[in-house]
Structures are given as structure tokens and as C-alpha cells.
Chain A
């Protein structure tokens, strides 16, 4: 059995799965809350006033005074707050529109995406770059396979704030390699040797 039926979506918080999960089926959403519609509106039930004759009117308790004044005050306050929010949103939308007048088009960003993905070693890619690898590990580790390596300390370098390490315990068929904290421009050496295989259990 693969996957859940597509026709039934569960859009409630995942916690709702805890309640009825015996049959492992998705549940229909009952509230619009998580579609961004907000909590369900509360219904105001208004009791009907019973019709009565003159004698019964004398015996019935007087109805409470109308709450128009308080309800009106709350309504004004909420409306004013909503208007203030809209005014602030108008301001930020106008700022954004002004910004767009001088903004470059998407093609510039698309080029940056290409540039940022290429030249970066990626253990999950079948073809990847091994050149110009920048490390930011604060300590020096020794290569365990005697393939030559790097010793001594080196000044820490940063790569846009990243601190990533190709650790000695990799999941792919990989040589245990050393990392140092200098910028290295390597000849095209094979970083990954099928020496330590990740054996499937």
C-alpha cells in the first residue's frame, strides 16, 4: 500500500490525527481555520420573545436594557483599529511599489541561482565539482588514509557565514577525508573513493 488516497485531504492541525486514527484515513477538514479563513464565526442565537396577553405581560420580568451603546463602542474601536491596520498596509504597499520602480528583473536573480549551485561539491549528485573547496572547520583533522593531507592550524575562513564540514562519517561510498580551514584550490582529484561503502542493512 502506498500513500493515502488523494481525494481526502487533512488540513487540520496534525494533532487532530491523534483523535481518530484507527483506520489510518485522512479526515475531512471541518473548520476553515487552517485555510486562512480564521476561526468559525460564532452564531448568535436570539431567543424569540413569547407572545403574551395583557395579564401575562404584567407577570413577565422586564427585558434588560438594550446594549446598543456598548456594542456600538466596541464596534467603533474595532473599526478604528482595522482602519489603522489598513492605512499601515497601504503605506507598506506604496513603499514596495516605489521599490519596484528601480528593481532589476528576475533574470539577474536566475543567474545568481545558477552560479550558487555550480562549483559547490554535492555528495548526492552523480556529477559534482571537486574544485575550489572552501572549508570553515575550526579544528584540523588528520586524514586517516595517509593520502597526504593537511596538518597544522590554519586561519579560519568563512563562506558567507556557513560552517559546514564534510565529516569523516559520510553516508555515501566515500573516503574518510580531512578538512582544514584554509581555502583550497585543488587539482581535479577524486574526493570520493569507493573505499568505505555504506552497506545497506
Chain B
């Protein structure tokens, strides 16, 4: 084996080569970015979406948590929502009636994420216990009135930041973690099917904060990380990421596939949202808010969601704003945070109902709110 000095020299040379190649890549990509979505849309004569002040209203406030709401998820059917809170509970809500159907006290109260199974019969959650717990909503409560855990998925070496069931597969779940990996689980056996990242060279190099599975092609998912990148994975090939997307200048807190399944959006600590093309890797658009007049630090983006057509991008911010971006024109067309009955704290999570008719927001003010269109709609 070569000496330490020789290896160090080799390491330095390899590092220099990587940095040089990265710079060449960056420059080459810049030449291919001949336009962005907003400039292109304007050149095609597109006008921004125009909302009247009362077009989107808060039509439900779901009250019941006694701590900050950290995560929420809709069922694909039935319009139920599951939410996770600092109070150490999951609550399942009938969003239409605002009724709580389940209140699940968790063994580990430090929960960070939750998700509904595709059939709406189970919920998953995870957090600082580094595990993902599965609850069957049809289970009988024990003597203390607590719902039993039906499965605990253990194996992560860091906190579980995000979880999502593979669409139309009750038995497959993907988690992201502070241990810099994502994992595909078999929920029935509790086994890890695949680990994405970690020891492999193309994995994330910092905590992974969010995952989004492509509903058009459920073999593909993206993960967003504190290493400022987003990575695309094929669940059939865990050994390396398919592509790495650069652009953000801060932790990527939220990733979400665009409805067409060929693009995805991101939200970051750098205060911007971005739209990337999955296949080419091009950064198609940056959604940047105006700097604060008082020169305060830019609020960070905590979570994002697209409307069912993709024309609207909802972005929750750390200062309580919830901007509605026109995805095509990159303009803010509404701020739900300024509307009547808006949240009193940071928006921590967002979710669109499966039929696209309502947006649910969760906040550090302990509430969830549902927003829907209330104006006169024109059909063309």
C-alpha cells in the first residue's frame, strides 16, 4: 500500500479534478439555460393568474393539537387528513366535517413526519426515535386507550425526517433520514429493501429532509438534503443516484413532483423555490421573494405543494406567509398568510387533496387550515 503522504497527494489531485469537472459542468449547463419558464411563458403571451381577494378562503380550521403541527398528509380517497404534532400525537381528521376520527398517542413524542397509506387504513410516522411506526386505524385500543403499533421500521441511524408510501402499494414505504440516507421498506416484514446513499459515493452528504415519489412512475423518487442538492433515485438501482441537481444555496427542506411527473419543485432555506426538469437536470425556474424592506433575513421555505394542474405553486414560509406562485409566470398571485383567518405562526407543512379542490396547511400555531376556491369560476 502506498504511504500516507502519497495517498494524500492522490486525494488532493482527485479533489482538484472533481472540482474542475464540476465547474466545467456548471458552465456547460449555463449555456443550455437559454431561458426560464417565466420568460418563455411571457414570450408565448401567457398572462398571470388573477385572483380576487376572496377567491381562496379558509373554509376549515382543524383544532385539537396542543403543540406545533409538523407534518400532514391526505388520504388518496375519503378526504381524511393525518397530522403529526409536537404534542406527541397523530390526529386523523375528517376534513369535510372537521371531526377527529383518531387521536394516537405516540411512544416517542418527538415526531417529525406522518403519512397515510394508499388505502387509508394505516398511517406511518417517524421522528427523533430514528424509526418509522405504523398504526392500523382499524386496531382496537389497549386498556389504556392507546392504539397499538402494528409495525416499527428500525434501521436508520438518524432521525426520520420524511416518509411516504409508494402510491398504490400498501406495503412499500420510503423514508428520509438525518443519517444521510433514504430507505425503501417492506412494511409487512419490517425489512429494509434498499438503502439509497450512505456508503455509496453518489449519496447525500448531509441530512436528508424530504422525499417525493413520482406518481407517474413510482420507480422514481427525489430527495432533498441539507447538502443543498436534490437527488433522483431509481428504487431498482440503489447503488447510485440517477442524477444530482444543484442550484440551491441552503438546505433543501421540501421536494414535490410536478403533476406531469417530468419536473419537480423544491423549497429551501435560501428562501427560494425552484423548478427542475427531471430528465435533463435543467433548473427551469427560480421563485424568489422580494427582499424585506426592513432588511430582515429572508424567510425560509418550509414546504411546497402544486395544484392539480401544476399552474399554482403553494409555498409555506418560516414567517407565516403562504405564497401562491403562478408557476408559469413566477409571480406571487396571492398570500394566504395575509387573508382573513390565516395562521398565526410558521407554516410547517402543506398538502393538496387528491382531487385538487383543497389545500391543507399546518402551522406552529397548532392548527391546520383548509383552503378552497370560493369565487365565481369561469370554464373555457
Contact = CB atoms under 8 A, between A and B. Distances in A.
A6 B372 CA distance: 28
A66 to B, nearest CB: 15
B318 A6 contact: yes
A195 B275 CA distance: 37
Interface string B1-27: 110100110110011011001101100
A114 to B, nearest CB: 6
Contacts of B380: 127-131, 188
Contact of A125 (B251, B261, B307, B321): B307
A129 B379 contact: yes
Nearest to B40: A110
A117 B86 contact: no
A75 to B, nearest CB: 6
Interface in B342-376: 342-346, 348, 353-359, 364, 370, 372-376
A192 B375 CA distance: 11
A89 B86 CA distance: 40
From B11, B50, B308, name the one whose CB has the most chain A CB atoms within 10 angstroms.
B308
Interface in A138-193: 160-167, 169-174, 188-192
Interface stretch (A9-17, A44-52, A53-61): A9-17
Nearest to A123: B357
Contacts of B41: 110, 114
Contact of B308 (A7, A88, A122, A127): A122
Given A2-B337, A18-B109, A120-B309, A192 B377 contact: yes
A103 interface: yes
B355 A167 contact: yes
Contacts of A96: 25, 243, 281
B142 interface: no
A99 to B, nearest CB: 9
Contacts of A163: 168
A172 B374 contact: yes
A109 B364 CA distance: 37
Contacts of A38: 205-206
A18 B110 contact: yes
B55 A126 contact: yes
B192 to A, nearest CB: 21
Interface string B202-245: 10011100000001111000000111100000000000100100
Interface residues of A, number: 93
B374 A173 contact: yes
B277 A126 contact: no
B290 interface: no
A89 B201 contact: yes
Contacts of B280: 103-104, 106, 109
A96 to B, nearest CB: 6
A119 B363 CA distance: 33
A118 B263 CA distance: 15
Nearest to A10: B318
Contacts of B77: 165, 167
A5 B58 CA distance: 24
Contacts of B299: 3, 6
B355 A125 contact: no
Contacts of A166: 355, 357
Interface string A64-84: 000000001001100110111
B83 interface: no
A76 B7 contact: yes
A110 to B, nearest CB: 4
Contacts of A191: 379
Nearest to B168: A163
Interface in A90-126: 90, 92-94, 96-97, 100, 103-107, 109-114, 116-118, 120-126
Given A93-B22, A96-B25, A106-B35, A9 B318 contact: yes
Contact of A117 (B218, B243, B310): B310
Q: Which 7 A-B pairs have the closest CB atoms?
A: A3-B320, A36-B206, A122-B309, A3-B319, A171-B358, A15-B128, A86-B14
Interface of A: 1-7, 9, 11, 13-15, 17-18, 21, 24, 26, 33-38, 72, 75-76, 79-80, 82-90, 92-94, 96-97, 100, 103-107, 109-114, 116-118, 120-131, 160-167, 169-174, 188-192, 194, 198-201
Given A7-B297, A120-B259, 4 more contacts: A93-B21, A103-B280, A105-B32, A128-B377
12 contacts: A3-B344, A3-B345, A15-B128, A38-B205, A72-B4, A80-B7, A90-B14, A123-B372, A124-B308, A126-B378, A130-B379, A165-B77
